[in-house]
Amino acid sequence: MVIIMSREYDLKPAPSSENSSAKSVGDSLINRRQFISYGFNTATGVLAASLGVLGFAALILPPGGGGGGDLAAKYWAKGREDEAWYGPMHEQPMKKSDFVAEAAKSSTGTSGASGVWNGVPIVVTYVDHAKNAGSPVTNGKARFQFMEGYDGTGKYVGHFDDLADADSRLFPSENLVMIFGRCTHLCCIPGWQLVSNSFTEDSWTPGGGDDGGTKLFCICHSSRFDPTALEMNANTNRSNGSNFKYAGIRRSGGPAPVGLPIIPVVVNSDIIEGLPDYVDWYTYCD
Ligand code: FES
């Protein structure tokens, strides 16, 4: 247990502060209060209609963002404009070519960015699956893994392919996976390299476990999610208590009970667009 906790908080040392409560984000600091503020700024800024009215009207169009309609995902780097690689593109439509260029700098062939889509927070991850899938899994090159899934009690739910065979749009389109960005623990907003630690470093280990980096990390209580491990999972609609199964990315560690649901995407003239066919999957938070 001690080992686990020490790893969970194995954060990059702050370069200019002795504040032990601060977490390092690149070369700057963000403490827990600021992070929560960031999360709720995101929420109040773009979740104006919250989950009860997931609709196109909730979308905030980027000022001068150019291109991309209501289905386009937009970068969201508020407060991190100087740290995140997509900071200069804050509120502009996400482009596949941006992710490809960023992934080329990665030893694992991955890149990711936080964003907003259809009024909700998202994280988009690019994995150079087409190139890496033919190489040995032990070489640290990330690729998608299609896996069996279990609910929060450990009960077998089904295989990712069971859902994706019925709707092929759930398979990663153009090496991209977009997920609904609310943690299944207490609904904070996980991020891609939002903090620097062993879970978010540029390394990859197969199996959907907690080894290696390349995880989406929730700073609130350190839950981790593997965007390369795709599974079937189950959760509960918080409003009416109904259960639903979904295609998602695997929870690899931390207090979150299950993984994060996928939002299927298409790429339209380089713009990444989400498909609003599975909004029931995003109902586990208020
Ligand atoms: S809300 Fe994400 S770990 Fe608690």
HEC secondary structure over the chain: CHHHHHHHCCECCCCCCCCCCEEEECCEEEEHHHHHHHHHHHHHHHCCCCHHHCCHHHCCCCCCCCCCCCCECEECCCCCCCCCCCHHHCCCECEHHHHHHHHCCCCCCEEEEEEEECCEEEEEEEECHHHHCCCCHHHCCCCCEEEEEECCCCCEEEEHHHHHCCCHHHCCECCEEEEECCCCCCCCCCEECCCCECCCCCCCCCCCCCCCCCCEEECCCCEEEEEEEEEEEEEECCCCCCEEEEEEEEEEECCCCCCEEEECEEEECCEEEECCCCHHHHCCCC
Q: Is the CB of 253 under 6 A from ligand 1?
A: no
The per-residue pLDDT for range 125-164, each reduced to its tens digit, is 999 999 999 999 999 999 999 999 999 999 999 999 999 9
Q: Which atom of ligand 1 is nearest to the CA of 256?
A: 3
Segment 174-196 shows an average pLDDT of: 95
Domain that holds residue 147: 2-282
Q: Of ligand 1's atoms, which has the minimum distance to the CA of residue 222?
A: 3
182 lines ligand 1 (CB under 6 A): no
pLDDT at position 218 = 96
Residue with more model confidence, 3 or 186: 186
Q: What percent of the chain has pLDDT over 90?
A: 73
What is the 171 CA–ligand 1 centroid distance (Å)?
Answer: 27
Q: Report CA(217)–ligand 1 centroid distance (Å).
A: 9
User: pLDDT by residue (tens digit) across 190-208?
Assistant: 999 989 999 999 999 999 9
More confident residue, 64 or 216: 216
Mean pLDDT, the chain, whole residue set: 81
Judged against a pLDDT cut of 80, whether residue 59 lies above it is answered with no
Identify the band that residue 70 occupies on the pLDDT scale cut at 50, 70 and 90: confident
pLDDT tens for each residue of 79-95:
999 999 999 999 999 99
pLDDT bracket for residue 286 (50, 70, 90): confident
- Say if ligand 1 is within 6 A of residue 223 CB: yes
Q: Is 232 in the pocket of ligand 1 (CB under 6 A)?
A: no
Residue among 136, 134, 135, 162 nearest 147 (CA): 162
Q: How far is CA 253 from CA 73, 75, 198, 217, in A?
A: 27, 26, 13, 10
pLDDT tens-digit series, residues 20-52: 333 222 222 333 333 333 333 344 333 333 332
Name which of 84, 79, 77, 149 is nearest 116 in CA terms: 77
Q: What is the pLDDT of residue 69?
A: 62
| Tokens of residue 133, six digits | 């899938």
Q: Residues 155-182, buried b or exposed e (16+ Cβ, 10 A)?
A: eebbbbbebbeeeeebbbbebbbbbbbb
**Alpha carbon distance 208, 203 (integer Å):** 13
Mean pLDDT for the stretch of residues 104-118: 96
Count structural domains, the chain: 1
- In angstroms, the CA 253 to CA 223 distance is 6
Is pLDDT larger for residue 229 or for residue 38?
229
What are the backbone angles phi and psi of residue 102, rounded to the nearest 5°?
-70, -40
Ligand 1 atom with the shortest distance to the CA of 190: 2
Q: What is the mean pLDDT of residues 248-273?
A: 97
Candidate from 223, 252, 258, 286 with most ligand 1 atoms within 8 A of CB, to mutate: 223
- Dihedral, CA atoms, 224, 229, 235, 239, nearest 10 degrees? 70
